[in-house]
Amino acid sequence: MDRRGTDLSVGGNRTLGLRFYDVMWNTWDESAVPEALASDVDFRGSIGVRARGHAGVVEYMRLIRDAFPDFHNRIDDLVAEDDKVVARLTYTGTHLGPLLEHAATGRKVTYSGAAFFEIANGKIRHVWVLGDALSLMRQIGAV
């Protein structure tokens, strides 16, 4: 435990990975961003967007929420070791708003991905999400 009572163990890091998806993304809880992410977080998303800091991540979350209001991240596997967490995921949603330059199609999408987290001082410092963007783009008719 650190001085704030944050569990810095592998179990605590695992909990951060779960919180990232179950609280921040699956419920669109922006208030969880400063609780889970370092202030200087570096986030790289599947669709080629890079976000830095809390404001950048919130802006990215809103971009995805506007495009897929029912977006859901199912965690299929989650592995934590030392300061690293890796998740294998299945993403689902309905394309009801614009995604980058692609107009809403109303199509339901399902695609796979993985996320890699680096934890520092009890918070997520780096996130690199590798979703099957080609599958996503095919499903919304962009490819």
Asked whether residue 17 is assigned to any structural domain, the reply reads yes
Average pLDDT over residues 127-141: 97
- Is 2 a domain residue? no
With a CB cutoff of 8 Å and minimum separation 6, the contacts of 50 are: 42, 43, 44
User: Which long-range contacts (C-beta less than 8 Å, at least 24 apart) are formed by 135-141?
Assistant: 135/111, 136/46, 136/47, 136/91, 136/109, 136/111, 137/102, 139/95, 139/107, 139/109, 139/110, 139/111, 140/95, 140/99, 140/102, 140/105, 140/107, 140/109, 141/102, 141/105, 141/107
Q: Is residue 82 part of a domain?
A: yes
Instruction: Return the CATH number at 128.
Output: 3.10.450.50
Domain of residue 48 covers: 10-139
The predicted-structure confidence for 103-115, as pLDDT tens digits, reads as follows 999 999 999 999 9
User: What are the angstrom distances between the C-alpha of 56 and each of 40, 44, 62, 92, 132?
Assistant: 10, 11, 10, 23, 22
* pLDDT value of position 10: 66
**For residue 36, is pLDDT > 90?**
yes
Can you give the pTM of this predicted structure?
Answer: 0.88
Residues 38-90 have pLDDT tens digits of: 999 999 999 999 999 999 999 999 999 999 999 999 999 999 999 999 999 99
Q: Is residue 78 part of a domain?
A: yes
- How many structural domains is the chain composed of? 1
3 lies in some domain = no
Checking if the pLDDT of 127 tops 50, the result is yes
Q: Report the chain's mean pLDDT, rounded to a whole number.
A: 92
